[in-house]
Structure 1
Amino acid sequence: MSFATLGIAAQSAASLAQGPSTVPVSAHPLNELATTGEVPSFSVSDDSVPDVELQAPDARAGDVTVYPTLAAAVAAQDVDGAHDQALRCLAGAIYFESRGEPLAGQLGVAQVILNRAASGRFADNVCDVITQPGQFGFVRGGRIPDVPQNANWRRAIAVAKVALADAWDGAADKALFFNTSRPVGAKVKVAAIGNHLFYR
Structure 2
Amino acid sequence: MSFFERVATVATITLGLLASAGASTPGFAKELDRTANAATVQIVPQATEIPSVPAEKPAVAEIATGDGDDTEDYDSLQQAIAAHQDRTGQSDELTCLAGAIYFEAKGEPLSGQLAVGEVILNRTKSGRFPRSVCSVVTQPGQFAFVRGGQVPAIAPNSQYRTALAVARVALADAWDSPAPDALYFHARRVAPKWGRATVAAIGNHVFYR
TM-score by structure 2 length?
Answer: 0.65
Q: How does 1:46-61 map to 2 (within 5 A)?
A: none
Percent identical pairs in the alignment equals 53
Structure 1 residues 77 and 184, CA gap change in structure 2 (3 angstroms)? farther
| Match for residue 136 of structure 2 among 129, 134, 137 | 129
1:143 and 2:150 correspond: yes
1:20 match:
none
Aligned residue identity for 2:164: I
Higher relative contact order (CA 8 A, sep 6+): 1
The answer to whether the 8 A contact 1:73-1:168 is kept is: yes
CA distance in 2, matches of 1:145, 1:26: 27
SS in 1 for 2:119: helix
2:164 match:
157
SS in 2 for 1:154: helix
| Match for residue 194 of structure 2 among 174, 185, 189 | 185
1:194 match:
203
Larger Rg over CA atoms: 2
The answer to whether the 8 A contact 2:85-2:161 is kept is: no
SS in 2 for 1:190: strand
Structure 1 residues 81 and 66, CA gap change in structure 2 (3 angstroms)? closer
| CA shift digits 1:32-73 (9 cap, x unpaired) | xxxxxxxxxxxxxxxxxxxxxxxxxxxxxxx63111110000
Structure 1 residues 75 and 109, CA gap change in structure 2 (3 angstroms)? same
Aligned residue identity for 1:191: A
Give structure 1 regions of 4+ aligned residues with deviation exceeding 4 angstroms.
24-29
Shift of 1:107: 0.2
Aligned residue identity for 2:204: N
| CA shift digits 1:156-184 (9 cap, x unpaired) | 00000000011111211210000011364
| CA shift digits 1:11-44 (9 cap, x unpaired) | xxxxxxxxxxxxx867659xxxxxxxxxxxxxxx
The answer to whether the 8 A contact 1:112-1:176 is kept is: yes
Greater strand fraction, Structure 1 or Structure 2: 1
1:89 and 2:99 correspond: no
1:65 and 2:59 correspond: no
CA distance in 2, matches of 1:136, 1:82: 25
SS in 2 for 1:67: coil
SS in 1 for 2:84: coil
The answer to whether the 8 A contact 1:25-1:165 is kept is: no
TM-score by structure 1 length?
Answer: 0.68
Greater helix fraction, Structure 1 or Structure 2: 2
1:79 and 2:86 correspond: yes
Supply the RMSD in Å over aligned alpha carbons. Answer: 2.1
Where does structure 1 lack aligned partners over 5 or more consecutive residues?
1-23, 30-62
The answer to whether the 8 A contact 1:79-1:157 is kept is: no
